[in-house]
Amino acid sequence: MQTSTIEKVNPKSLAEAGQKLIALMGEAESGVYRNVNLSNYRAWEFGRYLSSAKEQIGHGNFETWRKNSFPKLKDGKAQRCQELFRNNSKASELRLLTDDTLDRWIRSLHLDSVRKYRLGYVPDKHQPNKGKDVKLPRLHSFLNIVNEYERLKYRHTNGLQEVDLKEAREETGELCAFLNWLHGNSKDNPWEKGRIPPRR
């Protein structure tokens, strides 16, 4: 009689090994969160500095001065720092940079601006056609209509946005005729070429 696989391993030892890995991962993540928050704060400080320098030097000369003064600083990073400060110009300067104060400070900011700044940490997606003019085909699908209808129905039936049914009937008359024809409920073809003049 063969021994089952579960009997050959020690489930407790296996779980303990996994718990150690989870603990190491958690420790690394906590360091990441602190460093990312601290990086956001330092970026905000630098953005404030650049904004002040721009006022002193003047808009026309600022870009040249910045590039000459900080040749290793990429334009995109400098702009992200300035934008982070611009969107959070009323944020307070911190005296203590503890995990708690940094976390509270980040939460006080305009969160979309924080997300946008942090996108700079994400590796670029491979885009073989980047920089080239590529014409993408326009996707046509009746699912667009269906999805809009589902959203509208959900809002109406859940009391979030009441629909004026009289107005809805007026606006969807042509669509209703098309759907009746499409599903075989009418022989009258509302999509017959030349029947309806193109909308301008």
pLDDT higher than threshold 60 for residue 2 = no
CA distance 45 to 53: 12
Q: How confident is the model at residue 172 (pLDDT cuts 50, 70, 90)?
A: confident
Q: How many CB atoms lie within 10 A of CB 11?
A: 9
Element (H, E) at 64: helix 59-69
Please tell me what DSSP assigns to residue 48.
Answer: H
CA distance 47 to 113: 13
Q: Which residues contact 101 (CB under 8 A, 6 or more apart)?
A: 94
- Distance set, CA 47 to CA 10, 80, 82, 126, 147 (Å): 55, 8, 4, 29, 42
pLDDT tens digits, one per residue of 18-75: 899 998 988 888 888 889 999 999 999 999 999 999 999 988 899 999 999 999 999 9
Give pLDDT, residue 200: 41
CB 65 within 8 A of CB 53: yes
Q: Which residues contact 155 (CB under 8 A, 6 or more apart)?
A: 161
- Distance set, CA 7 to CA 1, 2, 4, 11, 12 (Å): 13, 10, 5, 9, 12
- Distance set, CA 176 to CA 40, 73, 101, 166, 186 (Å): 53, 59, 59, 14, 11
Give pLDDT, residue 153: 80
pLDDT higher than threshold 80 for residue 150 = no
Supply 59's token pair: 């808009």
pLDDT tens digits, one per residue of 77-134: 999 999 999 999 999 999 999 999 999 999 999 988 899 888 888 877 777 766 667 6
In angstroms and rounded to an integer, the radius of gyration of the C-alpha atoms of the chain is 29
CB 22 within 8 A of CB 59: no
Please state the rounded mean pLDDT for residues 158-183. 80
One-letter amino acid for residue 104 of the chain: R
Vertex 9, ends 7 and 12: CA angle to 5°? 105
